[in-house]
Amino acid sequence: MSSSEFSHTRFSFKRRPTPVPGDMRITWRVSLILLMLAGSRSARASVAKLHILNDAIRSNQISKLRDAIDADTKILPWNLRVEPAFARAIDFVVGERLAEWTKAGGRASLQLTQAGLTAVGEIEKVEDALEQERAIISEHAKKLTEFRVSALLGERTAA
């Protein structure tokens, strides 16, 4: 083909949506954080506890989480993977005043604000949203105490 034949050829480009997994979307992470806080005692949890719950949910380590909560099971250290995207979602939750910084068990923690409690109510109205995550959080969040978090992180031994 000669170059003159190419000069008359037209190209068109269309943007096509690229599917993004749910756990990579900020709304999924923000909703997850709000549900984790709501599922914890006094709607408050340390950042370490949130990271452990997030790690268990994302990496499907629910049996390891169950063992970590079980008082009869020897606690093995949790190899915590800290995700920058999760930390950004925490910043977003605080920035939007859905939660505020506080302390729990001597470590940096978040507590839901009234706006956060309202947002959790809206999330819970959507029956088929985050079904698996909700089940895990409702079963484990309150049982994962700050004492157990410290033991999982190797800060103290569990009694």
Which of 10-14, 31-35, 58-62: highest mean pLDDT?
Answer: 31-35
CA angle 37, 41, 45 (to 5 degrees): 45
Does 19 have pLDDT greater than 50? yes
**Residue 7: both structure tokens together:** 């000069």
Give residue 159's pLDDT: 47
- pTM (2 d.p.): 0.81
Average pLDDT of the residues in 85-113: 94
Give residue 76's pLDDT: 72
Give domain status of residue 42, yes or no: yes
**Residue 9: both structure tokens together:** 């050829």
Give residue for tokens 């949790």: 78
Does 110 have pLDDT greater than 80? yes
Give residue for tokens 């569990």: 158
Give alpha helix (H) positions in the chain.
Answer: 3-7, 26-39, 47-58, 62-69, 84-95, 114-125, 131-140, 146-152
Query: Mind listing the pLDDT tens digit for each residue in 116-146?
Result: 999 999 999 999 989 999 999 999 999 999 8
Give the CATH number, domain containing residue 87: 1.10.10
Q: How many domains does the chain have?
A: 1
- The domain of 117 spans 20-152
Give domain status of residue 122, yes or no: yes
Give domain status of residue 100, yes or no: yes
Give domain status of residue 147, yes or no: yes
Give domain status of residue 101, yes or no: yes
Query: Mind listing the pLDDT tens digit for each residue in 55-81?
Result: 999 888 888 888 888 877 677 778 877
Give domain status of residue 34, yes or no: yes
CA-based nearest residue to 55, from 34, 76, 83, 31: 83
Give domain status of residue 145, yes or no: yes
Give domain status of residue 9, yes or no: no
